[in-house]
Amino acid sequence: MSHGKDSASSKKYKVVFDKEGCIGAAACVAADPENWKLQDDGKSSLKKGKEVKGQFEREITEEELQAFKDAAENCPVNVIHIFDEDGKRII
């Protein structure tokens, strides 16, 4: 009944970064420098994120989820959110 090794890793999540509310605390960069970078404007940027109505979005895999959770949980103003495949907000 198993679909093999990819059944657990095929889930997709969506990261939404509300840059407007970012205060540049850089906790996200400290937690996950692979995916977050502090910019000259004093705010963070989500690497490979695409802009959608002033927010930045990026689809991530289950393997990437933990790193993004770490960043989101460390953000003092909670401007990093993660949604699951059903559109339910995890963080």
Q: Say how far apart CA 81 and CA 33 lie, in whole Å.
A: 17
- Residue 87: CB minimum distance to ligand SF4, A: 22
Give residue for tokens 């990261």. Answer: 15
Only segment of 1-9, 50-58, 59-67, 76-84 that touches ligand SF4 (CB under 6 A): 76-84
The reply to whether 33 sits near ligand SF4 by the rule CB under 6 A is: no
Q: Say how far apart CA 51 and CA 65 lie, in whole Å.
A: 20
The reply to whether 35 sits near ligand SF4 by the rule CB under 6 A is: no
All residues at 6 or more sequence positions from 51 whose CB lies less than 8 Å from its CB, including other chains = 57
Which residues of this protein are in contact with ligand SF4, per CB under 6 A? 22-28, 44, 74-75, 77, 79-80
